[in-house]
Amino acid sequence: MTYWRSIFLSLTVLASCGGSTQNAGCPAIEALRARSSVADARAAYAKGDLRFLSLGGFVGEVPGASDKLGPTRELKGTSDTETEACFQLKPEAEHYATRYNAEMSVLLTQK
């Protein structure tokens, strides 16, 4: 009886291991839905943060930036090591970064 109980408990523990991360979503990118990329770029500019947003990956990209690219910071949730949920939401992050970087480019040319 103890043998079967051990097997049952082991299987129960193993079955519960993978479930939490699969449904975790991608909070970093999901949070962008409630934000305004243009307003965020203007707020960063006002604080002196003149960095463009980059999307992580093996070869990072800076969507929507002008030819005269300055310093960058990686948008959270976009690196290659993120969850599948983050990968699925990467187009939303790209849209946000494109608009953010376009606004930052405009602000920097008015400087």
Q: 57 Cβ partners below 8 Å, 6+ apart?
A: 78, 79, 80
Instruction: Look up residue 30 and give its two tokens.
Output: 């999901």
Q: What does each of the 111 residues of the chain score in pLDDT, given as a tens digit? A: 565 656 655 655 454 444 444 457 899 999 999 999 999 999 999 999 999 999 987 778 899 886 767 899 999 988 877 788 888 999 999 999 999 999 999 999 886
Cα–Cα distance, 63 to 105 (Å, whole number): 11
Cα–Cα distance, 57 to 73 (Å, whole number): 13
Q: Quote the pTM value.
A: 0.74
- Residue 2 burial (CB < 10 Å; 0-12/13-18/19+)? exposed
